[in-house]
Amino acid sequence: MGKLSGKKKLVVSVFISGRGTNLNSLIEFSKKKNSPIQIALVICNNKNAKGLNYAKKHKINFLVVNYKNKNKAENKILISLKKNKISLICLAGFMKVLSRKIINIYKNKILNIHPSLLPRYKGLNTHSRVIKNKDRFTGCTVHLVNSKLDSGKIILQKRIKVFKKDNEYSLAKRVLKVENLIYPIAIRKFIETTL
């Protein structure tokens, strides 16, 4: 277990915008006996996100934030993070860019999972770009968040083959399965080697 043996679990907040499959995978991971994390808060910018059902099902505190006013939204988020004593933030399909303010307060304590082999294909529409460029491989990356989009230190990557018959939807589905697998592994690795 490395540095974590005998230590309390790290209190985590997961940020989502949609289906929440990575959130679900992290909840399952947090419930394992030797898991280094405990998920105390889910932050979401979309009141209709299906992922909120996982928070409800597992009785995890959640906060839905309206991003019409980004400054107000982030102040609400910061208050909630503090109240829930959050030590690590995991972005899991969160479709908003965090301001420098949050990134500085939680410096080196924000992870993100991105559906490409960074530094390739930062930003959106990664799968259609992979198909368009006829790449033979793609995958996903867990990285630290800094103030440049999808540019932080890489914690873990997993590569998968792109099949000739793939389109952006079939590819997205396969990459998502790999995301669900590697995010918990990356978190454990990050905690044991960095914190």
Alpha helices by DSSP H, the chain: 21-30, 52-57, 70-83, 100-105, 126-132, 168-194
8-state DSSP, 8: P
Neighbours of 183 (CB within 10 A): 26
Spatial CA neighbour of 95 closest among 72, 118, 115: 115
Structure tokens at 148: 């440049």
143 is catalytic: no
**3 state DSSP class of 65:** coil
- Among the listed residues 58, 114, 127, 143, the single catalytic one is 114
Q: Give catalytic residue positions.
A: 114
